[in-house]
A and B are shown apart, each in its own frame.
Chain A
């Protein structure tokens, strides 16, 4: 087994240090080492988006990033999105639109939507659907998710 590496990174504006094996993905590190379990494993090969996080400002699948690659980088996860006393507008929009059923895909969708709105504050329905195509939801049929993201764009 390869020796563990020491990694120092920034997660949700906090400096975080951890040890990991090179083969551990960022998703494994977040969940198993740091107990940030908001990012989910749905497929572990980049096809469902449940593990989406924002790494140096860019949406990525954390299952396709090695933990060791994040040394010196900065990331945002679902756990850092809300303020202590209020939700992020995208989170509010998901609740108001009933845009979740089982909720397992929800953190990934919200992070993906955040990356979209950071990039394009006024997307069309088609742009929302294109951007979110990498996030699978099996419960909702996407209707209310798309509406929630469009509503959040209006609200921000």
Chain B
């Protein structure tokens, strides 16, 4: 592993100033479950590791049924699923936090880190997309907010400019009769990277027979996690049936442009997009119905 300096940043402005000064050769350390491995295996060159876990804003975890969730960028997975109200409000996100790595990984890995690592197969990103999350970004010129679906620009690439850092994610409060679901396909039952991931959120009518609106997002089938906006839109104001779900699944398949690698073939991934999109939608619908 190459040598680097470690800096324990205490404030957002300190971290931003360091990032601005050091540029590419500085990386922020939250849970470290991706970054430390990348540095160790020589996949990422860096001279400075800036630990952000002492910064209050990135540790914020606050949920309010009116205003929604503020999720600091360094909050580890286990803290999220430990909060009952968050599990009820954002089950799709919680699905992802419970399947990232093993228990020990979840003790360190952060949703914000998963986003900033910008893997096409990141489990947290499809649920963040379907839950309408917004990224709060701090930089040398102050703060800005962008929708999470616009955050990743390529494998390992994000919109963060020089000196910018992700501070937190904001998720709106869930609507009436809504729920979300995330699942992935892996050959084992744990400890694998998604061959394909699919997240869905739905808002149903009061009778829970009609879809008011739906969002679908996919992982591991393009250079970035994909917001399947049109596929979700197909379901707007539709009576729930296998046919309409199939139609949405096919629309999702149509935008997938997967590659073949050691984790799966392109044909397998395209096929799985259909299967998982159906399962994610049905899972979200079932959750609304079971919520009574």
| Touch test A–B (CB under 8 Å) | yes
Residues on B with beta carbons closer than 8 Å to the beta carbon of A68: 6
Instruction: Assess whether B103 is in contact with A115, with CB atoms less than 8 Å apart.
Output: yes
Give the distance to chain B from A70, nearest Cβ to Cβ, in Å: 11
Give the distance to chain B from A39, nearest Cβ to Cβ, in Å: 12
Instruction: Assess whether A64 is in contact with B102, with CB atoms less than 8 Å apart.
Output: no
Q: How far is the CA of A146 from the CA of B33 in the complex (A)?
A: 26
Q: Please tell me if B161 contacts chain A, counting CB pairs below 8 Å.
A: no
Q: Mark A44-62, 1 if CB is under 8 A from B, else 0.
A: 1111010010010011110
Which of A78-86, A96-104, A129-137, A147-155 is found at the contact surface with chain B?
A: A129-137
Residues on B with beta carbons closer than 8 Å to the beta carbon of A63: 36
Q: Please tell me if B104 contacts chain A, counting CB pairs below 8 Å.
A: yes
Give the distance to chain B from A141, nearest Cβ to Cβ, in Å: 15
Which residue of B2, B32, B105, B108 contacts A23 across the interface (Cβ within 8 Å)?
Answer: B2
Within 8 A of B (CB), among A1-38: 1-2, 5, 21-23, 25
Within 8 A of A (CB), among B1-30: 1-6, 29
Q: How far is the CA of A65 from the CA of B51 in the complex (A)?
A: 11
Instruction: Assess whether A112 is in contact with B104, with CB atoms less than 8 Å apart.
Output: yes
Q: How far is the CA of A100 from the CA of B150 in the complex (A)?
A: 49
Which residue of B40, B107, B191 contacts A59 across the interface (Cβ within 8 Å)?
Answer: B107
- Take A2-B3, A22-B5 as given contacts and tell me if A69 and B51 are in contact as well, using a CB distance cutoff of 8 Å: yes
Q: Please tell me if B49 contacts chain A, counting CB pairs below 8 Å.
A: yes
Instruction: Assess whether B36 is in contact with A66, with CB atoms less than 8 Å apart.
Output: yes
| Chain B residue at smallest Cβ distance from A21 | B3
Instruction: Assess whether B78 is in contact with A58, with CB atoms less than 8 Å apart.
Output: yes
Instruction: Assess whether A2 is in contact with B4, with CB atoms less than 8 Å apart.
Output: yes
Q: Please tell me if B244 contacts chain A, counting CB pairs below 8 Å.
A: no
Instruction: Assess whether B4 is in contact with A61, with CB atoms less than 8 Å apart.
Output: no
Instruction: Assess whether A135 is in contact with B6, with CB atoms less than 8 Å apart.
Output: no
| Chain B residue at smallest Cβ distance from A67 | B6
Which residue of B31, B78, B105 contacts A134 across the interface (Cβ within 8 Å)?
Answer: B105
Q: How far is the CA of A112 from the CA of B105 in the complex (A)?
A: 12
| Chain A residue at smallest Cβ distance from B108 | A60
Give the distance to chain A from B68, nearest Cβ to Cβ, in Å: 26
Q: How far is the CA of A144 from the CA of B56 in the complex (A)?
A: 44
Instruction: Assess whether A46 is in contact with B33, with CB atoms less than 8 Å apart.
Output: yes
Residues on A with beta carbons closer than 8 Å to the beta carbon of B78: 58
| Chain B residue at smallest Cβ distance from A116 | B103
Give the distance to chain A from B197, nearest Cβ to Cβ, in Å: 18
Q: Please tell me if B41 contacts chain A, counting CB pairs below 8 Å.
A: yes
Residues on A with beta carbons closer than 8 Å to the beta carbon of B108: 60-61, 64-65
Given contacts A46-B101, A69-B53, A133-B190, 8 further A-B contacts (CB under 8 A): A21-B3, A22-B4, A46-B33, A46-B102, A58-B107, A60-B104, A61-B105, A69-B51
Residues of A within 8 A of B (CB): 1-2, 5, 21-23, 25, 44-47, 49, 52, 55, 58-61, 63-66, 68-69, 112, 115-116, 130-135
User: What 9 pairs across the A-B complex have the smallest Cβ distances?
Assistant: A134-B102, A133-B190, A22-B6, A58-B107, A45-B37, A61-B104, A59-B104, A60-B107, A23-B1
